[in-house]
Structure 1
Amino acid sequence: MSRSNGEGTVYRRQDGRWTGAAYVLAPDGTRKRKAVYGKTRKEAFDKLAALQEKSRAGIAATPGRLTVRELFETWMRDVQEARLSPATFQTYEGYIRNHLVPLLGAKRLGQLTAADVRAFLTIKTREGKGAATVKQMHAILRSALQHAVREDLVPRNVAKLVVVPTPPKQDVEPLTPEEARTLLKTAQGTSWEALWTLYLGVVGHDVVDAGVEA
């Protein structure tokens, strides 16, 4: 359903929800595109009409009551579950549940600032989390917030304003064939045998063959 004369549109999303969107008065005095959502066409239409009525009365649209935790929930369910492998999805979910939500989840999405993101990353670094782990948490938050920008839930992605240093690359010296054979002999009969055999098989079949024959 569309509305004439630039009054906004109501349409159905791929996930089945209905969205109403229009340009309305923002707190800074400009007009910005704002979206509302509903389970039915009528619900979305009515919400959009109420929003536009307030705008015509000079009442600016304020950020919604959606929290960061609720954003993560909908983003993971509606976007990432179908996109990610089960293992990667589980990794994301673990970072969100154990780290991001406890510190940022209660924040209103529209009130989240770059300073909040920076403080979160500082806390995780002080807790002893490695640089690569901190960078991964930042990447997950940044991706979720970019989804919020596309959905017109927030005007900008504050996580993009925070720069996370790239973890330095570490030079790894490969095992010599003799070291590989020793490692495989030591691991034989233990729970680590399959893991090290697989790992060394990926690194070099000649090394594994030498170890198995030894």
Structure 2
Amino acid sequence: MSRSNGEGSVYRRQDGRWTGAAYVLTPEGTRKRKAVYGKTRKEAYDKLAALQDKSRAGIAATPSRLTVKEFLETWMRDVQEARLSPATFQTYEGYIRNHLVPVLGAKRLGQLTASDIRAFLAIKSREGKSPATVKQLHAILRSALQHAMREDLVPRNVAKLVVVPTPPKQDVEPLTPDEARKLLKAAKGSSWEALWTLYVGLGLRRGEALGLRWGDIDLENGYL
């Protein structure tokens, strides 16, 4: 598994992972040392060989100056858009644009650490974001970094080193019959009367009620 002089090297790190490193072509037209990683010596060797084959063919390696913002935008556009439903994609995009990018976006992807992620999540908690939102932000970042690791953009997924507590389950105290009657009386005649009637009468969740279309309703037969 040895390589000739000038063809790079493969060695084992202290954490047990194998690393292959060699000088390859960059987008700027220069040659810089780049590393790839694998769980076994052969995996690292094969990744290094593939990287060097691309370099010899004139294909530049991914720039090391890639920022978290640039990576997340590319990940969403090229990977997640085809996988997610439109609604979920918009939710992810909003989390990234409004929360992840303002705090972590300018940092280089390869320099992102577990401490950075812990600090980011702590900031969001202090801002009053719910435990469920904090957990979702961590999940998005963990998923994105897992893809980055598969693409050899980072040596490991540092988000996996951060433990986020599971949000406590909230007990729901339903309205009493008297409270339900008062609510419907207060809503009577307002533009929200139909919505509140559905909530109280059928126990629909918010997403279920707001997602209804006229085609879902049969007024003649009283069917929803």
TM-score range, shorter chain: 0.5 to 0.7
- Give the unaligned 5+ runs of structure 2: 1-6, 8-19, 23-34, 205-224
Question: How big is the shift at 1:43?
Answer: 8.2
What corresponds to 2:137 in structure 1?
137
* TM-aligned CA distance change 1:44 to 1:186, over 3 Å: farther
Quote the offset at 1:122 in angstroms.
0.8
Structure 1 pair 82–160 and aligned structure 2 pair: CA distance change class (3 A): same
Unaligned 5+ runs, structure 1: 1-6, 8-22, 37-41, 52-61, 205-214
- What CA distance in whole angstroms lies between the structure 1 residues aligned with 2:91 and 2:56? 34
Amino acid at match of 1:164: V
Specify the code of the residue in structure 2 equivalent to 1:46: G
User: 8 Å contact 2:184–2:193 — kept in the other structure?
Assistant: yes
> Deviation string for 1:52-72 (max 9, x for gaps)?
xxxxxxxxxx97221110111
Map 1:150-189; keep pairs closer than 5 Å: 150-189=150-189
**TM superposition shift of 1:24:** 3.3
Paired position in structure 2 for 1:84 = 84
Identity %: 76
Shift in CA distance, 115/44, structure 1 to aligned 2, threshold 3 Å = farther
Deviation by residue 1:114-159 (Cα, 9 ceiling, x = unmatched): 0000010111111111111111111111111111112111111111
Counterpart selection for 2:21 from 16, 21, 24: 24
Aligned to 1:121: 121
Distance in 1 of aligned mates of 2:101 and 2:56:
29
**Distance in structure 2 (CA, Å) of the matches to 1:85 and 1:201:** 30
Which of residues 37, 43, 58 in structure 2 aligns to 1:46? Answer: 58
Using the TM superposition, name which of 171-180 and 133-142 deviates more: 171-180
How far the C-alpha of 1:201 sits from its partner, in A, is: 4.5
When the two structures are superposed, what TM-score results if normalisation uses the length of structure 1?
0.67
Q: What SS is found at the alignment partner of 1:172? A: coil
* CA displacement at 1:104 relative to structure 2: 0.3
Partners of 2:56 and 2:188 in 1: CA distance: 64
CA shift for structure 1 position 87: 1.8
Distance in structure 1 (CA, Å) of the matches to 2:76 and 2:188: 41
For the residue of structure 2 that corresponds to 1:190, the secondary structure is coil
One-letter amino acid of the structure 2 residue matched with residue 84 of structure 1: L
Output the CA distance in 2 between the equivalents of 1:160 and 1:202. Answer: 41
Deviations 1:31-67 (A, max 9, x none): 563676xxxxx8893136xx7xxxxxxxxxx972211
Given the superposition, is the C-alpha separation of residues 74 and 201 from structure 1 closer, same or farther in structure 2, using an over 3 Å criterion?
A: farther
Q: Note if contact 2:145-2:159 (Cα within 8 Å) is conserved in structure 1.
A: yes
Query: Once the two structures are superposed, what CA deviation does each residue of 1:153-186 show, in whole Å capped at 9, x if it has no partner?
Result: 1111111100011111111122233332322221
- The 3 A distance-change label for structure 1 pair 79 and 188 is farther
- Between the aligned partners of 2:177 and 2:56, the Cα distance in structure 1 is 67
SS of alignment partner, residue 21 of structure 2: strand
The SS at the match of 1:24 is: strand
Please tell me whether the aligned partners of residues 187 and 196 of structure 1 are also in contact (alpha carbons under 8 angstroms).
Answer: yes
